[in-house]
Amino acid sequence: MKDANCVFCRIIDGSIPSVKVYESDNVIAFLDINPMEKGHVLVVPKQHWRTISDVPVDAPDAVRCAEEAMYIVRVTAKALGEGLADGTNILQANGACAGQTVPHLHFHVIPRYGGETLQPGWESGAGKYKDDDERDSYATRIADGIKKIVESEGIFG
Ligand SMILES: [Zn+2]
């Protein structure tokens, strides 16, 4: 599935150039044009899904594509860690309110170098709960949602 108006689909089809670090039938990885740090890589499944929630689980080729993207996220972080960076952040945004600017699922692999104190753009503790009951109510709602989806999709568990 491709979208002719999507910048990442156009990178995938080669009509927009990129500095590639990996490419297969399912996945492309290239340097971010606006890097948060030197060596900032974007890992992009070649199928056009807007967000991670849009990945279908009933299509084996889609599942394979998404799994390979996750695998390449891992491999990219590992490769950065072997002599290049001291650590990495993995960042993936879904929706404009989360800071997603290209509506094609992608994963940022951001290298971190020794001595930095860079934070990846969020304030730790900014989402403090008013009390334990509120915290537990979030946990229960999320756990119930995960359970419902895991059971209905029947992939794991
Ligand atoms: Zn796309």
Q: What is the pLDDT of residue 107?
A: 97
Pick the closest to residue 97 from 56, 128, 51 (CA basis): 51
Percentage of residues of the chain with pLDDT beyond 70: 91
107 Cα to the center of ligand 1, angstroms: 13
Is residue 145's pLDDT more than 90? Answer: no
29 Cα to the center of ligand 1, angstroms: 14
Residue 107 corresponds to which amino acid? F
Q: What are phi and psi of 31, to 5 degrees?
A: -70, 135
State the number of CA atoms in the 13 A half-sphere of 88 facing the CB. Answer: 24
Is residue 37's pLDDT more than 70? Answer: yes
Q: Which residue has the tokens 């753009």?
A: 121
Active-site residues: which are they? 106
Instruction: Tell me the CATH number of domain 7-126, given options 3.40.50.2300, 3.40.190.10, 3.30.428.10, 1.10.390.10.
Output: 3.30.428.10
Tens digits of per-residue pLDDT, 77-115? 999 988 888 999 999 999 999 999 999 999 999 988 886
Q: What is the pLDDT of residue 156?
A: 67
End-to-end CA distance of the chain: 29
Of the pLDDT bands very low, low, confident and very high (cuts 50, 70, 90), residue 118 is: low
Rounded CA-CA distance 127/138 in Å is 12
Q: How many CB atoms lie within 10 A of CB 11?
A: 20
Number of residues assigned to the chain: 157
> Which residues are bridge partners to 88 per DSSP?
111
Is residue 24's pLDDT more than 70? Answer: yes
Rounded CA-CA distance 104/48 in Å is 6
Q: Give the pair of three-digit tokens for residue 38.
A: 């030197």
Is residue 19's pLDDT more than 90? Answer: yes
Domain segments of the chain as ranges: 7-126, 127-157
Is residue 154's pLDDT more than 70? Answer: yes
Around ion ligand 1, residues with a beta carbon closer than 5 Å are 3, 6, 8-9, 48, 104
